[in-house]
Structure formats: structure tokens, C-alpha cells
Structure 1
């Protein structure tokens, strides 16, 4: 039995995936109406195959924002994903179904994608753990793309142990896929597996932890800052640090997102514009009209921003920040207020995540209860590139101390 468990560490564990992962025999809809005319997938996505090889049992596909563009999963084609802790509120997005199914106790593990925050936002609002690995860590073959230069794939779970188990099962190079150097997409670094489960017991020992201020404080409501403070206090993290160039980095990510998305969907925008969600369609069209020089400049700014942030990790191993500006808002809410500024909810739920994924850093979102009267809100545990182990160790320490937890929703409160 012990040998069997080592070979199949997820034996019998049910999981479900965001509906942009291919499932053999089913259509990969990516939350859209247009893909209802597509052919069924001929094979499972690589990460689905890897979880199944570890013994996990796939049970279905999950709701999402159309083509992964949004932070609320208020999908006009399939209907909104409801937050299991309060069915009148959003689950976050774009991997809203992945967060909601887990919080509802329907499965033990889910998969999502994160381009600008689409794992961390639902994890925060649904009160579950989510891991966005380093850009390129996990292969993307068999997943519907959103923004090739920004797309990450990763797991959700209700415990750090399950999160690490699923992450470890999906690691490793993809045989025959090649590398960026020989023409393969940059989204797969073909990096050797670096297992994390055995390191969880080390906790935060020896790690230098900073708390992000400035931009990350200015774009958070009091409940998000209270959650951050609870985590910082538990880790004895007292030093505040400001990332350089954050506003420029987020602006670059926004330009790149719109330009690549507009290019990807241009043919359908010309032929079937009415079949897109109106908000997505308008942003895709705007992106398709962006001058190439702007996009090239955005990529240069992104590179400079990454270089500037890398210097911060000379002083710190882990950085803490709120995951969302606030807890889950009621379904249908179009605007919220942050520090006197009125902002649209759908793009602004990602204010605090977008500057981190823009430069590919690994992040574990951890759920905090008590900062909001009856809803969870997440904190980002951010590590240096390829140091997912550091983020997961800190998350495990917080979980062991009872500071973060992910209970199955009861709807009692």
C-alpha cells in the first residue's frame, strides 16, 4: 500500500478543471458561445493527464469568464458562478467555477489559469488556497490560450498539503515539446521538477519576509489590509517595502493583455461580434486597434519592471500583499470605491494581482477569516522566481498556526 501511494499520491481524489483545459471527447468552451461550434478535444490537457497519472479522478469542467477575460465570472452565456459562502455574491474570476466548486466541497482539487490574477482572485473571494507558479513552470499544452506571454496554470485546494501534492504531480518537463530556444512557446520552461511536499514542515524558518506597502496599501479596503496585518503579525513580518515601477508594470500588463487578446480573437470579432459578451467584445476590439509600437514599449517596460523587482528579492525571500481590494461583492455590482476612487469591479478586482503575474512571480493565495464580518479574503504570499517552495512553506506555517483556513461552505452565515 505504501508503494502504491508513493506512485499514486492522489489515488481516488476527485478533481475538476476550468473549462479551458481540454478533456477528451468534450468541447473546450472557454466560457464562450462561439466555441460551442468547435470540435471535441481529442486528448486531455497535459496537466489533466498528470493528475490522472497520480491517481486523481476527473469529474468535470467548471464555469469561467468568457475567454478568461474578467475577475467576476458573471458569464452571460452560462450564468454567474455563485460564491458558496454567500450565494448572492461573486466567486471571483476568471477561474470562478474552480474556486466555487472547491469551497462548496464538490471536489478536493481544481485547476485554473492565471493571466492577471485569475487563480488568486477566486481563491481570495471563495476562501481557498490557490497557487500561481512561476511563469513557464507548468506546461500549457491542451489549454485554451488567453495571453500567451502572461498565461500561467495552477491548482486550487482546501489545504496546503493538497495544494503541494497536486502541484508536485504536475511538475516536470514535457517530453517532445521543445523549448523557447528552438521555437516552442515561452510558456513552458522545461524545468526539472522541484518537489515541495517534503519541505512544508520547514515552515517560515529562516525566510526573510517583507510586507508590501505603497500601491498595495493604496488599492485595498480596510478589510483587505486587516487580513494582511493578521498574516504579517503571525509571521513577525514588520518591515514594509514598496515595489518600484508598480503602476508602470500594471499598465504594461493591461496593454499586453488587450493587444494579444484582440489579435487572438480578431477573426471571430469580424465574423461573429454579436456572439461575444459585450464587455469582452469591446475590450478585444480596443486591443486589436492598439499600435504595435505601444505593445513593444509595454514589453520593454515589463522587462525593466522585472529587473527592478528582482533587486527586492536580494533583501527578502517572501513578500506579502492583499490578494483582492475587498471581499466578494454582490453579483451585478458594477462599481466599488477604494480610498475615495470609484472603480469598475470587473477589471479592478485584479488591481493587486496583475502587477505580480505581469513578471511571472510564484504566488500562493491564502484565505483569512475574521477580517470581514462573514466572508473570507485572501493574502498573497509572493516568492522569487522558481521558489514556489518558499511560498508554500509560509502558507503551511500560517495554516498550522490557524491563521488561514479553508472550511467547506455551510451557507449558515
Structure 2
């Protein structure tokens, strides 16, 4: 293994430091990432497109700047770091697939979305686009058009969704960072099941223009990484207002990286009980218990109305998603995945009064959360009710209840998405030591903060990482 191959399995900030110092070239890092994808993606199926020529050309241009001693190039936060994005992000020259068959015939994107431009400006190198559930409507990335993405921790199991390719590519060591989207849990579910870190920022924090929408009032974009500093570094590079997205709020950039060293200092942290423990299986409960223990013991609190908030998120997603796809549902229904098509059709038939009531519940639930955040700064909850199910599973067993697998993986994320709170998903290992007859797989916890306090969530995640409770090692691939 040469130095670039070894560095690819290290955190992004280590890659950036090596490229800045001239120990390894950006071109070598791009080549190492592309070579690992070539070796491993036949098993994982994380990628739908590669952008090799773009990555190599960008790397060569960066290397020339660094050799010339360009101070601006040496100050870049992510020089030579390979990354990939869910295939709902606009990539110049590629059709924005959004996991679908229908979009394959659409013209290629005329330019990159703003988040790609920001990562490129930070020195990162785009190597490709990643698999996902069709139109982001799912939690497993069992895509019938592209094939399922397989979990690098156990390729017989799902990677989660809808950003399954984004989580799997990072877990497999193909790239150290990636981008995904989260409407009802689509960053946090793959992060939990694949054993990586993921960040869903506050609704309105990052611009979403230049990406294929699903539910305009619920969609978020955010990063995946294998360490909390990498997550913070990437998120900080993504921040900034963009007036082209009417949902993006004109807030100043608020860097999170400098605050990580403070850990949990001064933060009031509590554990979410009630709905969030009632819908957690043994591994999820053990993960929360381990986190609570590492944080010095946490009091339990309840967030009233979580079940109703999840129902509201379902109705809003159904209705707004269906409205977006009505023309294709009328003219090309057979080209949808059957499950996506049926859910969209159901959404098109929802009474307007139901959707209006769902928005009222959403507002009511947001007020309950605001009351709770007057008493605490951070809430801990499980990210998924179970570890990754086997591909093709129709049902999961949750404390003796048989629940449909695909929608139920979002049981614990949807209430939080409904009100746009910032959440860091952090993977927890070793729960099999407390549950010796369960599979040795990661499962995530949600670290939930008040609006605009991504720094609080990332600080707690970093404290857990430093304590050895949360980590994201590269998967050992066959």
C-alpha cells in the first residue's frame, strides 16, 4: 500500500495536511480514491457515476498551485480530499438522476450546485455520484433501477437510505467525506446503519438549490464523514447564504470547528424517553445507555407529541412529493419504482384538510420542542430502532412487534425532521458486548440541538469520539 492509499483511509483533515505539506500530491489522492472505488464498488454498489477526468484535472491544477507556493492554495481547508455526492445534486455535465429511470433522459446539468462549488473552492475533489432511493423516498437504498447499495459492514444488509450510497462510500473508505440529503432521516439512517458520522443541519442553514427536491418544506442537505472534526470541517466549508433558495436563511457563517475542543463543557444534556425508547430495539437502547454513561449519566425527559409529529411528516411528505411528480405519474407511471409510485399516488389523493392539520401539528410540536430547549441544550435519542436489516427484508422485529421494514427505519428520525432541528448522528460500537447474541453491527444515536446550534451537537459528538464510545473505522472489505 503506497502513501496515498494509506492516507485515503485516514481522516480528511490528515489528507489535507499531507497535501499541503507536499508529502503526497492531490493527483495521487484522486487516483487512490478512484482505484479503491474500482476494487470495491462491485461489492458495495455505492456509485452510479464517476467523474474521474474532472477529479484528476482539478487535482493537477491544485498541485500546480501548491508547487508554485500559492498562499491561497495552502490555506484551503480540504486540499486534495476526494468526495462524492448523492445523485440528486447537480453535477455539471451529468443528468441529475435522483435515483430514477425517468430523469435519465433529461438534459445534463449546466452547472454544479452551490454546495459542490463550495467544496471545490475548499480544495476537495469530486470523484462521482452516489446511489439512493428513487426520488429520495425510502430508507434502504434498494433501488430497482441501479441495484441495492450494500452495507460495507455486512454486504448482506441494507446501507440505509435514502442517502445509502453516501453512507456506504464513506464507511467503505472510497471517500473520506460525502454529501447527502435528509427529509425524514435520510442522512441519519444510513449513518446509523453504516457506522459513520452524519450531520443534518437546521432547516434553512444550507442552500438546497442545485439539488433535486423531494419535500420543499422538509428537505435538508448535509455531510457524512468518518470523524467529527471532518464533519465540522466539511460543514463549515458548506455554510453561507444563497438567495436562490427561498428557504435558506440569511445567517452569518458560524464556524463549528473551533468549538470542538470544548466538548460537553457547560452543556445541559438529557436523554429522550417515552416515544423514543418505546420504539427502540435492544441495540438502540444499549447504544443510548452507553452514551448516557459516557456523559456522566443523563436524566430522561419526554418530548410530547412525537408520534403525531411523525404522522404529520408522513402526510406532508406524501402530499408535497406527489404534487412535484404529478405530470410523470400521469404520463410515465410504469417508469417509477412500484413502491415510490404507489406512495406518490396515495399522496395525490390526500384530502387538503389532512395536510392542513398536519401543518398545525407540526407547529404545535415545534413549540413543545422550544419549551424543552429552555431547560436543556442537547437531547440524546436512538437514530434507528434496529441495526441494518438484511436486504429484501419486509419486516423488522421491534420488541415483539412486527413492523414493515422500509418505513419503520425512520421511526425515530421523522419527528425531529418535521421541525428542522440540527442533529449529528454518531455511530456506537460494542453494544454486542452487552447483547452477546446479537450481530456485531454499529447503530447510531441522534445528538439533537436547538435551532442553529450545530456546534452543540458536534461538540457532544466529539466528546463521545474522544471517549472512545463513538467511532467510524473503515470497514474491512472482503
CA distance in 2, matches of 1:348, 1:185: 31
In the TM superposition, what is the alpha-carbon distance from 1:190 to its structure 2 partner? 2.2
1:282 aligns with 2:342: yes
In the TM superposition, what is the alpha-carbon distance from 1:4 to its structure 2 partner? 4.2
Give the 5 Å matches for 1:190-205.
190-205=250-265
When Rg is computed on C-alpha atoms for both structures, the one with the higher figure is: 2
Mean CA deviation greater in 108-117 or 2-11: 2-11
In the TM superposition, what is the alpha-carbon distance from 1:411 to its structure 2 partner? 3.7
- Higher-RCO chain (CA-CA 8 Å, sequence separation at least 6): 1
CA distance in 2, matches of 1:297, 1:367: 35
Which structure 1 residue ranges, 4+ long, deviate > 6 Å from structure 2?
none
CA distance in 2, matches of 1:6, 1:264: 44
In the TM superposition, what is the alpha-carbon distance from 1:5 to its structure 2 partner? 6.4
CA distance in 1, matches of 2:319, 2:410: 18
1:379 aligns with 2:439: no
Contact 2:172 2:477 in 1 (8 A): no
CA distance in 2, matches of 1:6, 1:365: 31
Name the structure where helix makes up a greater proportion of residues: 2
Give the 5 Å matches for 1:83-232.
83-174=151-242, 176-177=243-244, 185-186=246-247, 188-232=248-292
SS at 2:375 equivalent: coil
In the TM superposition, what is the alpha-carbon distance from 1:207 to its structure 2 partner? 0.4
The count of corresponding residues between Structure 1 and Structure 2 is: 404
CA distance in 1, matches of 2:351, 2:106: 31
CA distance in 1, matches of 2:231, 2:294: 21
Contact 1:368 1:403 in 2 (8 A): yes
**Aligned match of 2:90:** 22
CA distance in 2, matches of 1:341, 1:146: 30
**Aligned match of 2:475:** 409
1:398 aligns with 2:458: no
CA distance in 2, matches of 1:344, 1:258: 17
In the TM superposition, what is the alpha-carbon distance from 1:38 to its structure 2 partner? 0.5
In the TM superposition, what is the alpha-carbon distance from 1:237 to its structure 2 partner? 3.4
Contact 1:211 1:237 in 2 (8 A): no
So what's the TM-score if we normalise by structure 1?
Answer: 0.96
In the TM superposition, what is the alpha-carbon distance from 1:172 to its structure 2 partner? 1.1
| Structure 1 unaligned blocks of 5 or more | 178-183
Partner residue of 2:144 out of 76, 80, 88: 76
Partner residue of 1:255 out of 301, 315, 329: 315
**Aligned match of 1:180:** none
SS at 1:315 equivalent: coil
Q: For each residue in 1:164-207, what CA deviation from the matched residue of structure 2 results, as whole angstroms up to 9, or x when unmatched?
A: 00000010112x53xxxxxx632x11221100001000000110
**Aligned match of 2:47:** none
Q: For each residue in 1:146-171, what CA deviation from the matched residue of structure 2 results, as whole angstroms up to 9, or x when unmatched?
A: 00000000000000011000000010
So what's the TM-score if we normalise by structure 2?
Answer: 0.83
